[in-house]
Amino acid sequence: MTAKIIDGAAIAKKLQQDIALQIEKRRAQGLRAPGLAVIIVGENSASQIYVSKKRKLCQELGILSKDYNLSANLEETELLKLITTLNNDQTIDGILVQLPLPKHIASTKVLEQILPDKDVDGFHPYNIGRLAIGQPALRPCTPKGVMALLESTGVDLKGLNAVVIGASNIVGKPMAMELINARATVTVCRSTTRNLSAITKQADIIVAATGVAQMVKEDWVKEGAIVIDVGINRLPNGQLVGDVDFDKVKEHAGWITPVPGGVGPMTVVMLMANTLYAAEVLHR
């Protein structure tokens, strides 16, 4: 068996086209464009690249983009003041603070300063709580993107055994909630889980989000399983790989996402989808 490739880049492109069309319709009705504010503190090169992609996509889709590139020495109080100003800005539907923040700034305090209806990253406790009770509003972007990838397979998730490897607040935990809401039976593991391969071997769906390069091996995967690779790691030779040993696992799985070109493009487009949702539904 050779797995079918879940082409995240192609699926994301289609979603981008749908979002652009919806925004065009808004403008034709005399409504303002959705607005997204992106705050980056410091000179993290990976964050700069990611933010530049978001800015470019905003321009392509017709979303108003406001960018704030701030000094790494910025005081926490000043960042909180900026967020308050953006909370009160009626042209802004979403506020994104790029993580990680400098150590002297408390990420939790900053994320909780964002109004829940402008929390397009979906990290505010209010939005996580709504996801947990099955009444989501703004959903965390990467798990939301993974659910769209799973939907693209046409496989009914109800009753399937799903294993999420990783328990971060950004991916692992909300990913488990998304799968629970889809009525799958969910097990959450970590890289340190005992007998991890024995657990994954029973899974119909594996979502790998550990940050450990090529950790998931062929003999961890049940034949025909759906394997979603959230990880992105750079090997010493410069090659980008995921948390799954792609070349070997693809010969065993039923469906699999590549790295790059799988989950990554979906995360960015779901940020745009959340911004549009905030404008259309939450700030109507």
Handedness of CA 242, 150, 267, 197 (dihedral sign): negative
Give how far the C-alpha of residue 92 lies from the chain's centroid of Cα atoms, to the nearest Å.
21
Which residue in the list 54, 118, 144, 250 is annotated as catalytic? 54
81 labelled catalytic: no
Distance CA(151)–CA(181), nearest Å, equals 13
Scanning the structure block, which residue is given the tokens 């960015």?
A: 268
7 labelled catalytic: no
Which residue in the list 16, 93, 98, 245 is annotated as catalytic? 98
Concatenate the DSSP letters of all residues of 193-259 into one string.
-TTHHHHHTT-SEEEE-S--TT-B-GGGS-TT-EEEE---EE-TTS-EE-SB-HHHHTTT-SEE--S
Choose among 272, 282, 277: nearest CA to 36: 272
Which residue in the list 93, 117, 121, 243 is annotated as catalytic? 121
Lookup: tokens for 186: 């969910």
Distance CA(82)–CA(85), nearest Å, equals 5
121 labelled catalytic: yes
HSE-CB at 216 with a 13 A cutoff on CA atoms is 37
Catalytic center residues? 54, 98, 121
